[in-house]
Structure 1
Amino acid sequence: MIESEIRILLQSIAIQTRKRYANQLRELGLHIGQELALSHLWEQDGITQSQLRLKMGSEASTVSNMLRKLEQDDIIYRKVDDADHRISNVFLTSKGRQLEGPIMEIWKAHEQVLLAGIVPEELLLLRRILQQMDDNLL
């Protein structure tokens, strides 16, 4: 059945991508998922921990543990909001900002491998189909 084949292919792509990213991120001293948190901070440094959690679609405890590790590694720092002490804002350190280039290179290189041999018209169709699949899950 084609639906099963598609599910298996998507699963295989996800597994291989995760392995590749994990190996390359390890060379930067990072773990899978941390690069996603950093990418949101590169776009909007100083967002609250809750906003970051929502953007990542992760559990609060997962994000909290991740941020604790990034903080220990001097990649981010958290600052309690002056007006509301229950709110914690997350900021990049210079080390965190310097990781943007290497991580973007990892993503770009993987994308080139992943999409090799696919013509522009097929890429448009693929993007539309993947977007529909993503929307179906919301």
Structure 2
Amino acid sequence: MIVVVDDEIRIILGKMWSQMRRDCSQSLRELHIHVGQEHALCQLWQEEGITQIQLSERLGCEPPTTSNMIKKLEEYGLVHRQQDEADARITRVYLTDEGRALEQPIKQMWQKQQEKLLDGIHLEERLLLRRVLQQMLNNLS
């Protein structure tokens, strides 16, 4: 018999993720985008002109999911797609000026979220937490 306890780490992480998602969702709505779309923009802030396949890989999403996300961001006027000059089968994704303008507001939102999340946690504990979370992620990979 498996007993589920509310203080299991996976339960706590799940609750934490849900609350963070709710908080971010509200802030992102003010910028007229949805949760998850900011991650695609972030990849493009780091490297513009990547292919949709590269974007899918970096986001850890299936290509149809990424394609739908890009379509929405295109409708919002934040990105545009362009065929590769050397290979017309390849579509590259570029930011618009409006997409570039969201970089600082979104990074500020992430910073506020992190400050809220880590409030009252000392530097040594933060370093240990980061190491433990990274190990947990490695264990799942």
1:26-105 to structure 2, matched below 5 A, reads 26-105=29-108
Q: CA deviation at 1:7?
A: 1.1
Deviating 4+ runs (over 6 angstroms): none
Q: Please give the per-residue CA displacement for 1:45-75, whole angstroms capped at 9, x wherever unaligned.
A: 1111110000000011110000001011110
Counterpart for residue 10 of structure 1: 13
Q: Normalising by the residue count of structure 2, what TM-score does the alignment of the two structures yield?
A: 0.94
Q: Helix, strand or coil: the match of 2:8?
A: helix
Percent of matched pairs sharing the same residue:
49
Counterpart for residue 115 of structure 1: 118
1:30 aligned partner, one-letter code: I
Q: Normalising by the residue count of structure 1, what TM-score does the alignment of the two structures yield?
A: 0.96
Aligned length: 138
Q: CA deviation at 1:4?
A: 5.7
2:9 aligned partner, one-letter code: I
Higher helix share: 1
